[in-house]
Amino acid sequence: MASEGDKLWGGRFVGGTDPIMETLNSSMAYDQRLSEVDIQGSMAYAKALEKSGILTKGDLEKILSGLEKISEEWSRGAFVVNKSDEDIHTANERRLKELIGDVAGKLHTGRSRNDQVVTDLRLYMRNSCSVLFAHLLQFIKTLVERAAAETDVIFPGYTHLQRAQPIRWSHFLLSHAVAFTRDSERLGEVKRRISVLPLGSGAVAGNPLGIDREFLRKELDFAAISLNSMDATSERDFVVEFLFFASLLMVHLSKMAEDLIIYSTKEFGFVTLSDAYSTGSSLMPQKKNPDSLELIRSKAGRVFGRCSGMMMILKGLPSTYNKDLQEDKEAVFDVIDTLTSVLPVATGVISTLQIHKENMEKALSPDMLATDLALYLVRKGMPFRQAHAASGKAVHLAETKGIAINQLTVEDMKSISPLFGTDVSQVWDYANSVEQYTTPGGTSKSSVMMQIEQLRELLRRQKDLF
């Protein structure tokens, strides 16, 4: 049995903790990555204690000096973790006492690990959001600039995985870029809600020592102070919101990955992935597998699991802090690590992707212009529903004859409607087709260029705001 004598909470206990319980209770294996923000929070709290008269200037100097040495040890990989260190807070305070003596025991005055750990997590997540935002913006920029460089490429647009209408390749790329801009906006909103200071809330009732929380807020660069101490130590809305942001981002990444996986097959042959983002088969020498995209697609399930798991933990908790909340960190760390890997790979895939314009053009077929045929009749005064039916009859007639719809004669077309004339031949032009869609959001070149400029401006604004 492990002794309770050196534990932060050991005073009222006798005997020891079961070794298996020690293992279950410890979070040291994963919360070591909070070491720097834990020290950052402790330095700010020490200054607040000195400001309130709990620490002398001499005490403060010793504590800050000791914490700086601990920070150096972590950065050099020289910090030695003891078996008795159940979490990062315990480890840092234990080491501080070894360095400066009993004055280290004053640092925790009025502070609970309840408000300490959630402060650490908010600091860590705030920093991580900035890193993820940079990755996400670079990815969106790569999509937008690739779209700008390939505006003249036309290929099939699909609904229900069936050929639907001709569109620009750029329009397809931008459809994904727009979704990712919503993700970047959500990340900014999540970061704003993360930036609320819980330190000074104590365990449940608040801080009785007149700690200046506004001082702490400024010292740690938070945007606001939590309103209620009971809520502050237990709420993990910001964790769930981050995990949901990540889940929705992975939905969008998975959809893009699925599109490109399909387009990269021999059956489509629209794109080829760079060898840098592909792997082969241990048995079949000819294989080139889109593993980068498949892994992106699979990681979505991993992130969804973290989000739903955290929701399940929270839904059964009573008010204030419960040990269940220890599970929040592993979920957050895992998702941050996943996104930090996935986003640069996605950027690499898009920037190195080879497109096959000739295959895209070959995949276009006259039946995809059936809507254009209906619009031809609409422009001659026929109500759309009648025009839709007439175009459908033309499609059926061509199928009956075993020919492409554009091979029907004018007489064939007039048998369906007298409004058809020799000018119907102008319908069978894919470039003319896409150029019809000039309204904002459409696939004409002018509309696509407008989308590109709007996205460039949005990226500039988001970069300045974050």
Q: How far from each other are the two terminal CA atoms of the chain, in whole angstroms?
A: 50
Contact 153, 362 (CB under 8 A): no
Taking every pair of C-alpha atoms in the chain, what is the biggest distance, in angstroms? 101
Q: Is 160 part of the annotated catalytic residue set?
A: yes
Helices (H), 316-383: 327-352, 357-362, 370-378
- Is 112 catalytic? The answer is no
- For residue 91 the two structure tokens come to 């480890």
Instruction: Give the whole-angstrom CA distance, residue 390 versus residue 404.
Output: 16
**Sole residue written with tokens 């959809």:** 255
Instruction: Give the count of beta carbons closer than 10 Å to the beta carbon of residue 396.
Output: 12
DSSP strand pairing (154-159 vs 196-197): unpaired
Q: Which residue is catalytic, options 65, 75, 130, 281?
A: 281
413-451 burial, b at 16+ Cβ within 10 Å, e below that, comes to beebbebbeeebeebbebeebbbebeeeebbbbebbeeb
For the chain, the C-alpha Rg in angstroms (whole number) is 31
Cβ atoms 50, 42 nearer than 8 A: no
SS3 163: strand
Residue 381 half-sphere exposure toward CB, CA atoms < 13 A: 4
- Phi, psi of 156, rounded to the nearest 5 degrees: -70, 135
| Rounded Cα gap, residues 265 and 334, in angstroms | 32
The answer to whether 167 touches 154, Cβ cutoff 8 Å, is yes
Pure H helices in 56-162: 57-76, 88-100, 113-149
Tokens of 312: 């399940």
Q: Which residue has the tokens 């964790």?
A: 239
154 pairs with which residues across the strands? 168
Residue by residue, DSSP assigns 314-331 as HHT--SS--GGGGHHHHH
H-run or E-run covering 37: helix 35-51
Sign, CA dihedral 185-190-196-199, equals: negative
Whether the CB-CB separation of 120 and 325 falls below 8 Å is answered with no
Name the residues annotated as catalytic. Answer: 160, 281
